[in-house]
Structure 1
């Protein structure tokens, strides 16, 4: 594209002023495209890492599909931490929010039917 602009300028088809404006616009666009490419590359890398983490988590979970008892070793392998919310009373009953943060995948949202 730049070569075409330069050729048009050399042939007198484009004025010097127009050539300068167009090349400046092209340079801005190229910088924006390079910035966007870096952002997309980073996003792709993060997605690939997340996919890898999910695959690792699935592999780990499959190891425990037939367990009869949950022990400390299994908990430590699967769970990063457990967050306990405040105890709240609603209509005389106590409720407490509990969030389980799993290794590799973080918090898994609750499934509602």
Structure 2
């Protein structure tokens, strides 16, 4: 499929969980914008508060109290912004990983022999579950293949 329609395969890989990823990404982006906006507001308040203190409009006690409060909020916002940026970056990496996987598949399309190099290049891990016997006496065993860059394909 990678040789026939690279774009279709890439879209199918990304489609698995795409709705959830898109919803999460939109939520993270809006949360990131709100955090960045609030950080700018807090920074502005901090500057105005310093100006009020230096002009004698607020007491040193109130200045120190508000300083601690705003510094704590600034630190929380910095951590939140960093976390959200990392999460959004990980989402973007998923698409890049899928593209890398399609390129690998194209490179190893139509193998004539199953080699260790081929398996190590394309497959991250294989999970073999314990075999069970069904009521009709048939033996069932689930095997999961996790591919490099994209994980398990259903």
Find the aligned partners of 2:67 and 2:130 in 1 and give their Cα distance. Answer: 61
RCO higher in structure (CA 8 A, sep ≥6)? 2
Q: Which residue number in structure 2 is paired with residue 16 of structure 1?
A: 60
Instruction: Select the residue among 35, 38, 42 that pairs with 2:79.
Output: 35
Find the aligned partners of 2:52 and 2:122 in 1 and give their Cα distance. Answer: 65
Q: Which residue number in structure 1 is paired with residue 151 of structure 2?
A: 106
Instruction: Note the residue ranges of structure 1 that are not aligned, 5 or more in a row.
Output: none
Structure 1 runs of 4+ aligned residues shifted over 4 Å read none
Q: Which residue number in structure 2 is paired with residue 50 of structure 1?
A: 94
TM-score of the pair, normalised by structure 2: 0.57
Instruction: Select the residue among 34, 37, 60 that pairs with 2:104.
Output: 60
Q: Which has the larger radius of gyration?
A: 1
Q: Which residue number in structure 2 is paired with residue 81 of structure 1?
A: 125
More helix by share: 2
TM-score of the pair, normalised by structure 1: 0.73
1:102, distance to aligned residue in structure 2 (A): 0.7
Find the aligned partners of 2:81 and 2:145 in 1 and give their Cα distance. Answer: 36
Query: How large is the Cα RMSD of the aligned pairs?
Result: 2.4
Find the aligned partners of 1:7 and 1:32 in 2 and give their Cα distance. Answer: 24
Q: Which residue number in structure 1 is paired with residue 142 of structure 2?
A: 97
Q: Which residue number in structure 1 is paired with residue 24 of structure 2?
A: none
Q: Which residue number in structure 1 is paired with residue 18 of structure 2?
A: none
